[in-house]
A and B are shown apart, each in its own frame.
Chain A
Amino acid sequence: MIRLTDTIRIATLLILTTSVQVAQPSGKEILDRIDANMSAESRYVKSKMVIHGPRTSRTVESESWSKGESALTEYLAPAREKGTKMLKLEDKLWIFSPSTDRTIQISGHMLRQSVMGSDLSYEDMMDDTKLTDKYDAVVVGSENFNETDCWIVEMTAKTEDVAYQMRKLWVDKTRYIPLKEELYAKSGKLLKKTELTDITKHGSRWYPGKIIFKDMLKKGAGTEFIVDEIRFNIEIPEHILSKSSLR
């Protein structure tokens, strides 16, 4: 025989559980949870970029180390790019080219140029800051994308000095990782689209195994960024993230 108090308890529990399931998180809460998945104190990534140009496709292999605002990328293949290194220290970027024995600083509008002919710009490559630091977000709806329930989140830049003034994310409701993103200029023009797939679990976080970038202003079928190996929160010796590692 169920007592009245038990019935009230069960009913209250059911109501609470249901309301938790349908409650819409705020834009900031979603960004916080995305940052928890995607950002890390430090990281090592070995990756491939498959660049689908208008005529041919090329694969560029690289490994990179990043910590905070600093990152070093070394290109491993193809032969023409092998040994080229890119170093980012805060908002500065240097490229070392072994064939010319030159260290070249990339700055200003050059940061918006394509990296190795891909659909990623140097700014895209360098940007590793938390979303909550640069954007305000609002949830504008929900949608099923690739058979996954997603929140649609619109992010607006807090400052003028970001590459994309407006971003629209389709965020997995359960894993809190973006599955699709549209990047807009201040004018409202769509600049890039990305799709994140092969989501796998790395410890407590979810991370995509493949990101497809498409620069909407460029010919070609986009660039696939494939993560071959990734390690989070690792120890990186100081000399790796310094100019001495370029040569």
Chain B
Amino acid sequence: MLRFYIKGLFRDRSRSLMPVIVVAIGVTLVVLMQCWVTGVLGDMIVFNARFATGHVKVMSQAYNENISQQPNDLALIGTGELMENLSTEFPHMEWIERIQFGGLVDAPDENGETRAQGPGGGMAIDLLSESSREAERLNLEKSIIRGRLPEVPEEILLSDEFATKLEVEPGDQVTLISTTMYGAMSITNFTVCGTVKFGATALDRGGMVADISSIRMALDMQDATGEILGYLPDEEYDDLQAAAIASSFNEEYHDPGNEFSPVMLSLREQGTMTMYLDMVEYFRSIIIGIFMAAMSIVLWNSGLLGGLRRYGEMGLRIAMGEEKNHIYRSLITESIFIGIAGSVVGTAVGLFFASLLTKGIDIGDMMQNSNMMMQGVMKAKITNDAYYIGFIPGLMATVLGTALAGIGIYKRKTAQLFKELQA
């Protein structure tokens, strides 16, 4: 019987081709939308992970409690050994050290006296090791407005806005006045090697990036660091995996009674990230839900119209003595085949287009200034959901539309049928 239905669908293109095409188009759009929304919202998480949170972050307990103040006096000590342990115990992850620092940046005149100055906040990262991927991770190369990346420890990058305010150019000297991790005054000269655009107002007002070795010297932080960030392979955030790693680390190293003991937090556990991740999931569900509902209505109508278009055929089949139940079942079975065929084709096409978009669309040029650390590329992401989500509107809505249209079969009267057939 099934072969009979399938043959019928192949032979009568008006019964199969158009409905399959309509379903396939709808499913393609649903799959594509799912991948795009997941990718774009996920990119914001990627940016946060690269810039601030890592997939997991290790800090001292006290540092974590006062993190908004960048309290380097509460930084982790003995990080050389801790980094070795992390690399041994979690070898699949990439571990990096960073120091957040702040202070007054002072530009001298020809007599070495203050010409201009302003408060700044910066990030010390590993820029000079050959194996370091930090510059790439922070998109630093592309963020350069003037000059170049630091090549020696004594060089520093300033935000372009900050450099303009201080009236300094690449090659000029500035002095950072800050506080060492033991509270002493720290006054260190740096040469500005370049200027960058961060793409975030607060950072562009007074942001700096320097190599971690020079900031360690300046802030007296040998074998110490503010934060250790860990990244999962391919920099793909996996909430469950990150939580498991953090839990395993804390079980071994964290001592709640010692405020200087290290504590590891997953990306979700840091700052407002819990709320942000929940919000991303919520908005993703709403956007996809609305789109799926709209597509379902379209496909349901398509099923409904398909059923109504075959009103005459149903009449003839009833007149020939075929049972109404049998006709109804055959319609539903056909719609299931159409739904499955359309969903398979739509999912395949949707995944194909989504895979093209995983490379991203560069919207950097559309932005006011494309040289910035905030990534200017929006891209789709194919997740497991994308393989089945299209079947919900593709199959269910089609079958439901046909089922509703088929109810009319039961209301037909034989006398009325003959009138219809004569007409």
Check: B73 CB closer than 8 A to any chain A CB: yes
Contacts of B114 in A (CB 8 A): 94, 103-105
Residue contact B184 to A110, C-beta cutoff 8 Å = no
- Inside 8 A of A106's CB, which chain B residues have their CB? 104, 177
Tell me whether A100 and B182 are in contact in the complex, defined as CB-CB below 8 angstroms, given that A53-B73, A55-B73, A105-B113 are known contacts: no
CA distance A78 to B62 in the complex (A): 27
Q: B108 touches which one: A81, A102, A109, A219 (CB < 8 A)?
A: A102
With A53-B73, A54-B74 as given contacts, are A102 and B185 in contact (CB-CB < 8 Å)? no
Size band of the A side of the interface? 20 to 34
- Contact of B312 with A by CB under 8 A: no
The CA-CA distance from A117 to B114 in the complex, in Å, is 22
Is the Cβ of A104 less than 8 Å from the Cβ of B117? yes
Q: How does the 8 Å CB contact mask read for A86-124 relative to B, with 1 for contact and 0 for none?
A: 000000001101011111111001100011111000000
Q: Which of B71, B108, B177, B179 gathers the greatest number of chain A CB atoms within 10 Å?
A: B177
Contacts of B260 in A (CB 8 A): 55
Q: Is the CB of A81 within 8 A of B185?
A: yes
From B73, B179, B187, give the contact of A97 (CB < 8 A). Answer: B187
Question: Of A99, A102, A110, A117, which is in contact with the most chain B CB atoms at under 10 Å from its CB?
Answer: A102
Q: Which of A84, A102, A105, A118 contacts B183 (CB 8 A)?
A: A118
Closest to B185 in A: A116
Residue of B nearest to A116 (CB): B185
Name B112's closest neighbour in chain A (CB-CB).
A102
Q: Are A100 and B175 in contact (CB under 8 A)?
A: yes
A51 within 8 A of B: yes
Alpha-carbon separation in the docked complex, A109 to B119 (Å): 9
B48 at the interface (CB under 8 A from A): no
Q: Is the CB of B179 within 8 A of A103?
A: no
Given contacts A54-B74, A110-B104, whether A104 and B177 have CB atoms under 8 Å apart is yes
Question: A84 CA to B180 CA in the complex, in Å?
Answer: 15
Contacts of B180 in A (CB 8 A): 80, 117
B117-128 near A? 1/0 per residue, CB < 8 Å: 101000000000
Q: Are B177 and A54 in contact (CB under 8 A)?
A: no
Asked if A58 contacts B183 (CB within 8 A), the reply is yes
Interface status of B227 (Cβ within 8 A of chain A)? no
B300 to chain A, nearest CB (A): 61
> Measured between alpha carbons, how far is A78 from B260 in the docked complex, in Å?
25
Whether a CB of chain A sits under 8 angstroms from the CB of B97 is no
A84 touches B104 (CB 8 A): no
Q: Chain B residues near A97 (CB, 8 Å)?
A: 175, 187
Contacting B at CB under 8 A, from A15-73, are 51, 53-56, 58, 60
* Nearest CB in chain B to that of A78: its residue: B184
Report the minimum CB–CB distance from B366 to chain A (whole Å).
38
Q: Interface extent on B, as a size class? A: 20 to 34
Within the assembled complex, what's the spacing in Å between the Cα atoms of A215 and B182? 16
Per the bound structure, the CA–CA distance linking A80 and B189 in Å amounts to 15
A76 to chain B: closest CB distance in Å? 14
Contacts of B182 in A (CB 8 A): 53, 55-56, 58, 117
Closest A residue to B104 by beta carbon equals A110
Measured CB to CB, the closest approach of chain B to A197, in angstroms, equals: 23
Q: B113 contacts A103, CB within 8 Å? A: yes
Assuming the contacts A54-B62, A100-B175, asked whether A110 and B119 have C-beta atoms less than 8 A apart, the reply is yes
A199 to B113, CA, bound (A): 41
Task: Note all chain A residues with C-beta closer than 8 A to B187.
Answer: 84, 95, 97, 99-100, 102, 104
Separation in Å of the B107 CB from the closest CB of chain A? 10
Cα-based distance from A80 to B62 in the complex (angstroms): 26
List residues of chain A with CB under 8 Å of any chain B CB: 51, 53-56, 58, 60, 78, 80-81, 84, 94-95, 97, 99-106, 109-110, 114-118, 219
15 A-B pairs (CB sep. < 8 Å): A58-B182, A60-B184, A78-B184, A97-B187, A103-B112, A105-B113, A105-B114, A105-B117, A109-B119, A114-B183, A115-B185, A116-B185, A117-B180, A117-B183, A219-B71
List residues of chain B with CB under 8 Å of any chain A CB: 62, 66, 71, 73-74, 104, 106, 108, 112-114, 117, 119, 175, 177, 179-180, 182-185, 187-189, 220, 259-260
Q: Which 4 A-B pairs have the closest CB atoms?
A: A117-B183, A97-B187, A105-B114, A100-B189
Given contacts A105-B114, A110-B104, A117-B180, 12 further A-B contacts (CB under 8 A): A54-B73, A55-B182, A78-B184, A95-B185, A100-B189, A103-B113, A104-B187, A114-B183, A117-B73, A117-B185, A219-B66, A219-B73
